[in-house]
Amino acid sequence: MSNVKKVTKDKNLRIVPLGGLGEVGLNMILFEYRGKILIVDMGLGFPEEDMPGIDCIVPNISYLKGKKKNILGAIFTHGHYDHIGAIPYIIPRIGPLPMYASPLTKGIILKRQEDFPNQPKLNIEQVQNGSKIRLGPFSIEFFKLNHNIPDNLALFLQTPVGNIVHTSDFKFDETPVNDSPTDFEKLKRIGQRGILLLMSESTGAEEEGHSLSEKTILENLDKIFKKTNGRIIAATFASLINRIQQLISLSEKYGRKVAIEGHSMKTNVEIARNLKRIKIRKGTLIKTENITKFPDSKITILCTGAQGEEDAVFMRIANREHKFIQLKKGDTVIFSSSIVPGNERTVQYLKDEFHRQGAKVFHYKMMDIHASGHAKQDELRKMIQLMKPKFFLPIHGQYSMLVRHAELAEEMGIRKENILVAENGQVINLTANRIFIDQKRVPSNYVMVDGLGIGDVGEVVLRDRQTLAKDGMFVIIVVVDRQAGKVRGSPDIISRGFVYLRESKELLKETRLRVIRIVNRATGSRGAVNWSYVKDEIRNKIGEFLFSRTKRRPMVLPVIIEV
């Protein structure tokens, strides 16, 4: 009997999201058929606010342990870090494998790899719009969809249970910049081939209407360029190749030289330029140290840091710490980007500082100078209409976005029981007639990267960091004379982040007295001293004492040294 069951189950296609279903970022999905595994994307995630010190998050790949031989290969949809950024953390663990990516995506992956010199060389096969590859039971056709980076490829997957479309990130744009318009006819033809399952991205599922066309953005940016006589300092995401193209083209139109600041943006422009994914006239680019050699009206500075990133160019300009760029009256600052949730206050700081330093500031709330790369509700509905899938699985987004996207699918006539809102680590089973989730989940808790450590920072370390951040720490070092059974001298106190020590002498003095009393009481009884009990006493009693005096709860750490 159990054998029969196994065979039946074996005929299911298993879809295992390891990231991206429950957050924006961290995108990675496995397709598994009879044990053979195809990977789509390996993206980074961004640390949450309760993860101080964490650099980034990577998908949990415990499920792949011991399955190395069964991995057919990995496909990368586009060159954004939330789709490729985890490669250097994952590949060393599952070994080199066949990889497939479009030219620009490949270029960005290989360039990034240079930051990890000890890693094995990657073997990436180039694919493009119209490419077909076969990997085990899967046959994959790549087709282009607009996004805000060139060479974005969606997937038409032929599997033994039926056809699947994975949209990658996308938007529909009939008048894009630096890219060809959405080919609706082609999408229609794909839909006509019969789609069993549509996996569509959900980042914009809570936003009504249609995303702005890049043409609108270009026109609005043009208005700013047209009326500006001073320098233009524009920031956007380093990965927004199409926006960078717009800003460079406009600069050329108005006879401005362009200085690019920020390592990641420089690198991306270089890669894109080499692959002819970005067009720059000879002589347009200048070095930042040369900006003073041209009149202000002939200067554009393109840079990173529109999110208020700590060490990025924009922040250094705001803090008046940039070597070559000091703001002055007459400068115009453009934020050509939306605000990533969580960065609102830092971006406000930038805006305020730029205003204080006399610059004119433009941002996306004043004027449409940024468009999301993600389809909004009208486009998501249209995608469902074009594909006419039997089953629907929203991917890429916060849980609330997945739910909203599922509602849209239902509104579009897909039967409720054919729509699945799944989460990371759930195993989605697909047959020609059914979609359902396994009882058993695979590990999908976040793996945090901090410096060189991958996954070594866990709950305990994070909780300690939060406690330390809130009220600091308070180390008490007591030297006990073993023979006399008494505290020797006065306990040392090392405290940081709690109170300003120089102004708290009374508090420290009283604390020391209390510590001595606790220890001497314990050692006075002449029996064997239970030091861990004494430490607990110090921790609790001194913790309470400090709280009663300050209403703060520093982490109290007693150390007892017997001599």
**Residues of the shown chain interacting with a second copy in the complex, contacts defined by CB under 8 A:** 22, 48-49, 52-53, 206-207, 341-342, 344-346, 348, 351-352, 355-356, 361, 365-366, 398-400, 403, 450-453, 456-458, 460-462, 464-466, 468-473, 475, 477, 479, 488, 492, 494, 496-500, 503, 549-552, 555, 557, 559, 561, 563
Cβ proximity of 86 and 51 under 8 Å: no
Q: Give the nearest distance from C-beta 479 to a second copy in angstroms.
A: 6
Q: Give the nearest distance from C-beta 493 to a second copy in angstroms.
A: 10
Output 112 or 405, the one with its CB closest to a second copy: 405
Output 52 or 136, the one with its CB closest to a second copy: 52
Whole-number Å distance between alpha carbons of 325 and 427: 52
Q: Give the nearest distance from C-beta 166 to a second copy in angstroms.
A: 23
**Please, which residues have CB within 8 angstroms of residue 420's CB and are 6 or more apart in sequence?**
391, 392, 393, 406, 428, 435, 436, 437
First to last CA, the chain: 70
281 alpha carbon, distance to own chain's centre = 33
Cβ proximity of 296 and 228 under 8 Å: no
Work out the number of other CB atoms within 10 angstroms of the CB of residue 19. Answer: 29
Whole-number Å distance between alpha carbons of 58 and 64: 14
According to DSSP H, which parts of 85-195 are helical? Answer: 87-94, 103-113, 184-192
Cβ proximity of 60 and 443 under 8 Å: yes
174 alpha carbon, distance to own chain's centre = 28
Whole-number Å distance between alpha carbons of 146 and 375: 10
DSSP 472-526: -EEEEEEEEETTTTEE-S--EEEEESSS-GGG-HHHHHHHHHHHHHHHHHHHHT-
Output 34 or 549, the one with its CB closest to a second copy: 549
Q: Give the nearest distance from C-beta 484 to a second copy in angstroms.
A: 13
Output 196 or 449, the one with its CB closest to a second copy: 449
Output 10 or 544, the one with its CB closest to a second copy: 544
Q: Which of 80, 110, 109 minimizes the C-alpha distance to 201?
A: 80
Q: Give the nearest distance from C-beta 211 to a second copy in angstroms.
A: 16
Q: Give the nearest distance from C-beta 403 to a second copy in angstroms.
A: 5
Cβ proximity of 454 and 447 under 8 Å: yes
Output 110 or 479, the one with its CB closest to a second copy: 479
Output 366 or 513, the one with its CB closest to a second copy: 366
Whole-number Å distance between alpha carbons of 223 and 229: 12
According to DSSP H, which parts of 115-173 are helical? Answer: none
271 alpha carbon, distance to own chain's centre = 21
Q: Give the nearest distance from C-beta 509 to a second copy in angstroms.
A: 17
Q: Give the nearest distance from C-beta 52 to a second copy in angstroms.
A: 4
131 φ/ψ angles, rounded to the nearest 5 degrees: -65, 145
Place of tokens 């001595």: 516
Q: Give the nearest distance from C-beta 487 to a second copy in angstroms.
A: 13
Output 235 or 462, the one with its CB closest to a second copy: 462
Q: Give the nearest distance from C-beta 415 to a second copy in angstroms.
A: 19
Helix, strand, coil percent content, the chain, rounded in steps of 5: 35, 25, 40
Cβ proximity of 199 and 41 under 8 Å: no
Strand partners, 135: 138
Rg of the Cα trace of the chain?
29
Output 500 or 525, the one with its CB closest to a second copy: 500
Q: Give the nearest distance from C-beta 145 to a second copy in angstroms.
A: 25
Output 254 or 399, the one with its CB closest to a second copy: 399
- Per DSSP bridges, beta strands 391-395 and 197-201 are parallel
**Please, which residues have CB within 8 angstroms of residue 382's CB and are 6 or more apart in sequence?**
172
Output 35 or 453, the one with its CB closest to a second copy: 453
Q: Which of 532, 533, 543 minimizes the C-alpha distance to 474?
A: 543
Q: Give the nearest distance from C-beta 190 to a second copy in angstroms.
A: 31
Q: Give the nearest distance from C-beta 418 to a second copy in angstroms.
A: 19
Q: Give the nearest distance from C-beta 327 to a second copy in angstroms.
A: 14
Amino acid sitting at position 296: D
- One-letter-per-residue 3-state SS of 200-220: EECCCCCCCCCCCCHHHHHHH
Output 173 or 471, the one with its CB closest to a second copy: 471
Output 387 or 487, the one with its CB closest to a second copy: 487
Output 96 or 489, the one with its CB closest to a second copy: 489
Residue 136 gets the label, from left (phi > 0), alpha (psi -120 to 50) or beta, of left
Longest dimension (CA), the chain: 92
